[in-house]
Amino acid sequence: MIQYAPRFRFGLILLTLISLLPHCTTDFEIEAGGRDIPVVYGFIDIRDTAHYLRIERAFLSGDSDAASVAQRIDSLYYDASVSVQLEKVNNGIVYPLERVDGDQEGYPRQSGPFVTAPNILYKIDAASLNLQGGEQLRLIIDRGGELPLVSAETTVLSPIELVDNLPADPFSLGNYLSSRRIAWRTDSEEAEIFDVRMLINYRESVPGNPSVMEDKTLEWVLSPAFRREDNSIQVNYTFQVEEFYQFIGGSLEPLAEGRRQFVDLEIRVTGGGPEFSELITIAQANVGITSGSDDIPVYTNIPEGRGIFSSRTGDLRTGIQITAVSLDSLQNGIYTKDLGF
């Protein structure tokens, strides 16, 4: 659902635990006009042991002090009388969510324009919900009084499984001119967009004490929004080997003393549902052709509200080694030869 709303602004900061892309911040502009407008941030992940949703209210910032209003608990959060539920559409069973303080759950709110404590979230244990891939899930918010129910639906994504031999272990990254493939399998046609990352783990001498080594990691974002070409179970992402060394060479500075030691690689793939795919599409459009317009389109799949309710899933491979030829390229190649590996 694309909506145009040119006047009033509120910020949506997606929680790291529920967002597809870490540190994702999106600004929406809305017509508030005194209406009660719920703001929803919710990503259901079948791998989680508990599911958390952030549900807040938009506030009018036209003639008021927005910074002051953002620090008022009763302006940002609904009170305890509001009911939040998840319904399994196929059988009609409804599950109530518990109103909790994220600080007490180990998820403090990042500092910013909004009040940080309490950090109200709505929670349900995964064991109680017992989700299966492909299930249709409906969010229902009852604000009481004569206000209409707020609801949104998403399809629960099945787990992603990274293919063990794509890439093989050890990973051959010796030929700059060649390409390499990362592959994963998913049964969910609704998994439309993927975040693909490689973590490069290494050890580095401590400044001033080069005999002591400390663990470090480089995070290489190969693609923050990779879209599958079709609905095949196996999805393939290809990159050029030269890009691997260019990334490392552009991310590290030569050491004044000491050395670096390669440890291993990790590959992380996270998939998002069609709601998140459309959100990314709108965000990319706003950066381009519509960025100079007074009426900027924003995405929401929350009738009577703003925000997004969707599903995500992912997988992680750890401990991947590289071949001896690849290590030689890291130590002596044109992009990384001065980095002390």
Give the global pTM: 0.82
Q: Which residues in the chain land under pLDDT 50?
A: 1-33, 287-296
pLDDT of residue 3: 36
pLDDT of residue 35: 73
Q: What is the pLDDT of residues 304-323, one digit of tens each?
A: 889 999 999 999 999 999 99
pLDDT of residue 24: 36
Nearest to 322 by CA among 175, 161, 220: 175
pLDDT of residue 57: 87
Q: Are strands 50-57 and 120-125 parallel, antiparallel or unpaired?
A: antiparallel
Q: Cβ-count burial of 215 within 10 angstroms (0-12 exposed, 13-18 middle, 19+ buried)? A: exposed
Q: What is the pLDDT of residues 259-270, one digit of tens each?
A: 999 999 999 999
Domain ranges of the chain: 2-157+276-307, 161-271+317-332
pLDDT of residue 69: 64
pLDDT of residue 36: 84
CA distance 201 to 218: 7
